[in-house]
Amino acid sequence: MRRNTRKRSKTTRRAIAAVAATALGAGGLVAANVYASAGESGSANTTKSSPQDRTNQAMGAGAATIDCPDVGAELRQVPGQARAEVDRELALLDQQVADAYQRLQNSSRAIQQDSNFANNAIMGPLKDKRTATIDRIAIAIGRTVDRPQGLEPLAACTLRATGDQDDTGNGEGGDNQDGQGQGQGQDQGNGQEEPTDNGQAGNGPVAADFVDITTVQPNVSSPQRQQNASLGKFTTECGVNANKLYNSDNIIVAPGVDNGAHHTHDYVGNQANDAFADNEDFAVGDTTCQNQGDRSSYYWPVLRLQDGTQEFDAGQPGGGAEGNAGKILTASQVTLEYVGNASSKVVAMPKFLRIITGDAKAFTNGTANANAAWSCTGFEDRQLTDKYPICPEGSKLVRTSTFQSCWDGQNIDSANHRAHVAFADPSTGACPNGFQAIPQLVQRLVYDVDAPSLNDNGRSSAFYAVDGFPEQMHKPITDHGDFVNVFDEQLMNTMVECINTGRECR
Taking CA atoms, 307 is separated from 266, 326, 329, 398, in Å, by: 19, 6, 11, 20
> How many CB atoms are located within 10 Å of the residue 191 CB?
10
Q: Worst-scoring range by mean pLDDT, 249-253, 289-293, 336-340? A: 249-253
Cα–Cα distance measured from residue 230 to residue 248, given in angstroms and rounded to the nearest whole number: 37
What is the reported pTM? 0.84
Average pLDDT over residues 412-434: 95
Q: For the packed helices 2-24 and 80-105, what is the interaxial angle rounded to 10 degrees?
A: 60
The answer to whether residue 184 scores a pLDDT higher than 80 is no
Cα–Cα distance measured from residue 390 to residue 456, given in angstroms and rounded to the nearest whole number: 15
Q: Are 247 and 264 in contact (CB under 8 A)?
A: yes
Tens of pLDDT, residue by residue over 97-121, are 999 999 998 998 999 899 899 999 9
Q: Are 197 and 207 in contact (CB under 8 A)?
A: no
Domain positions in the chain: 2-183, 194-505
Alpha helices in 61-178 (DSSP H): 80-105, 108-113, 117, 124-142
Average pLDDT over residues 341-358: 98
Q: Band of the pLDDT at 75, cuts 50, 70, 90?
A: confident
Average confidence score pLDDT of the chain: 85
Average pLDDT over residues 496-505: 98
Tens of pLDDT, residue by residue over 46-63, are 444 555 555 555 554 457
Tens of pLDDT, residue by residue over 260-310, are 899 999 999 999 999 999 999 999 999 999 999 999 999 999 999 999 999
Tens of pLDDT, residue by residue over 128-153, are 999 999 999 999 999 999 999 999 99
Q: Band of the pLDDT at 73, cuts 50, 70, 90?
A: confident
The answer to whether residue 43 scores a pLDDT higher than 60 is no
Return phi, psi of residue 135, to 5°: -65, -40
> How many CB atoms are located within 10 Å of the residue 417 CB?
21
Residue 143 DSSP code: T
Cis geometry, peptide bond prior to residue 205 (ω within 30 degrees of 0)? yes
Residue 32 confidence (pLDDT): 29
